[in-house]
Amino acid sequence: MKSDYVIIGGGLAGISTLYELTIRGHEVVLLEEKDDVALETSYANGGMLTPSMADPWNSPGIAKHLIKSLNNQHSAMKLHLSALPGMAFWGLKFLRNSTKKRYYAATKASFELAKFSLNRINELIEELNIQNDHNKKGTMKVFTNNQSFSNQIKIAKMLSELGLNYSPLNNHETIKVEPLLSNTKEKIIGSIYYEDDCSGDARLFTKKLANESVKLGAKIFTKTKVEKITRHKNKITGLETANKFISTSNIIIAAGNNTPILTKRFGLNPSIKPVKGYSLTFELNGKNQLPRIPVIDDSMHAAIVPLGKRLRAVGTAELAGFDKSIPNERIDNLKYLFKRLYPDLNETVNWANVKPWAGLRPMSADSLPFIGKVKNIKGLWINSGHGHLGWTMSSGSAILISDLIEGKKPSIDPLPYRIYR
């Protein structure tokens, strides 16, 4: 078999790239290890499209927080001792990037890509009539701590120079924007409303883009794990799976957390590590009104997101290696958040029937993705490591990698997302 371009990985990054290259007229094949596309991290994520959340998770002071988290099962961001041995290189980089200067620079770069990407996602949803419970009413972050509230306003103010629209609200105004918070048991001191944020089901979006790509001539092979990328001298020649060789001169690796495994033999180790999170998707019994918009609880690093007739409780961040187990404490935290924010609605949920999910965010050490070409190897590209914003950044990243592949002037400055940094 032969193809001009082969993409490895059928998550948000890979499928968005497949669609972009296909509409540009290229012959593209995508290979996915699982039984279908969007079954890994892109399956049941928070569904929020949030340039407003551009600030990286390694904020100044993160080291102290992580050490404390070792003994706290309920910590919003938690480090597991078992994950430490494989994390030295990434961990040091993660801490090095938590200086004020680097943190603010990464926040800006993340915002630029996220904003650019969200515009494209909104266009695609309209153009392709994607039915993914898309909601354009914004998101709201609520605060129970004055210090965190003023820190976040500072970030929002900085990003407003790049185009972020935000409104700081007091408790009373918060309830006006999301009336279902009127009986909340949280001591909300204020919130920030981000009117341009959106939300929607990322898996349904990915599946639709995959189908549209196939209609336009792209090929997707599922249950197909790439074992090895081959080259002759400094040129890509193809790749090997368990039962076939595909000849190609251009490969785009969009394999999420597995990207470093595939690049290793080319001497490249992009600093990507899995950061675990959880979600619970459920419906309410009866005819209760649902919240209008996603509400993010800053202190718990978690959110309640309406998705059409469903609700999704989502969040937390754990450095636990590739472990996808789902401990009860973590799920209880999400249930607790829902109960505190919406005590009336909580009465109508049958928690026994709710199936929990865990996913591993492919997180780089500075929270920015790796988008670009592998040095000294002709035809090897990467679009990976989008961390907590992989849905938000998906379509923008696909445009950027496609521009670079085609040798066009990129639509957005590629420098912050370069592979070697």
Ligand X SMILES: Cc1cc2nc3c(=O)[nH]c(=O)nc-3n(C[C@H](O)[C@H](O)[C@H](O)COP(=O)(O)OP(=O)(O)OC[C@H]3O[C@@H](n4cnc5c(N)ncnc54)[C@H](O)[C@@H]3O)c2cc1C
Question: Considering the complex, what minimum distance in angstroms separates the CB of residue 343 from ligand X?
Answer: 24
Q: Residue 220 in contact with residue 210, Cβ under 8 Å?
A: yes
Query: What is the total count of residues that contact ligand X (CB under 6 A)?
Result: 40
Q: How far apart are CA 158 and CA 148, in angstroms?
A: 15
Q: How far apart are CA 102 and CA 303, in angstroms?
A: 27
Question: Considering the complex, what minimum distance in angstroms separates the CB of residue 409 from ligand X?
Answer: 25
Binding mask 298-337 for ligand X (x = CB under 6 A): ----------------x-----------------------
Q: Which of 7, 141, 17, 5 is nearest to 390 (CA)?
A: 17
**Which is closer to ligand X, CB of 14 or CB of 190?**
14
Question: Considering the complex, what minimum distance in angstroms separates the CB of residue 146 from ligand X?
Answer: 26
DSSP secondary structure letters along 369-397 = -EEEEPTTSBTEEEEE-BGGGTTTTHHHH
**Which is closer to ligand X, CB of 77 or CB of 254?**
254
Region of 145 please: left (phi>0), alpha (psi -120 to 50) or beta.
Answer: beta
Instruction: Identify which range of 73-81, 96-104, 130-138, 251-259 contacts ligand X by CB under 6 A.
Output: 251-259
**Which is closer to ligand X, CB of 47 or CB of 138?**
47
Q: Does residue 367 bind ligand X (CB under 6 A)? A: no
Question: Considering the complex, what minimum distance in angstroms separates the CB of residue 38 from ligand X?
Answer: 6
Matching residue, tokens 């401990």: 327
Q: Residue 371 in contact with residue 383, Cβ under 8 Å?
A: yes
Instruction: Identify which range of 6-14, 56-64, 94-102, 185-193 contacts ligand X by CB under 6 A.
Output: 6-14
Q: How far apart are CA 50 and CA 54, in angstroms?
A: 7
Binding mask 23-62 for ligand X (x = CB under 6 A): --------xxxx----xxxx--xxxx--------------
Region of 25 please: left (phi>0), alpha (psi -120 to 50) or beta.
Answer: left
Q: Which of 225, 292, 324, 339 binds ligand X (CB under 6 A)?
A: 225
Burial 391-412 (b: 16+ CB within 10 A, else e): bbbbbbbbbbbbbbbeeeebeb
**Which is closer to ligand X, CB of 133 or CB of 189?**
133
* Residue 235: other Cβ atoms inside 10 A: 11
Question: Considering the complex, what minimum distance in angstroms separates the CB of residue 113 from ligand X?
Answer: 11
List of residues 6+ apart from 159 with CB closer than 8 A: 51, 52, 54, 107, 108, 111, 166
Facing residues of 29 across strands?
Answer: 6, 219
**Which is closer to ligand X, CB of 45 or CB of 97?**
45
Question: Among residue numbers 255 through 274, which ones bind ligand X (CB under 6 A)?
Answer: 255-256, 258
Q: Which of 3, 5, 7, 12 binds ligand X (CB under 6 A)?
A: 12
Question: Considering the complex, what minimum distance in angstroms separates the CB of residue 172 from ligand X?
Answer: 28
Q: Which of 115, 388, 403, 419 binds ligand X (CB under 6 A)?
A: 388
Question: Among residue numbers 272 through 291, which ones bind ligand X (CB under 6 A)?
Answer: 277-279
Alpha helices in 128-201 (DSSP H): 146-160, 171-177
Q: Which of 312, 323, 311 is nearest to 359 (CA)?
A: 323
* Nearest residue (beta carbon) to ligand X: 390
Residues lying near ligand X in the complex (CB under 6 A):
8-14, 31-34, 39-42, 45-48, 225-226, 254-256, 258, 277-279, 314, 359, 361-362, 384, 386-392
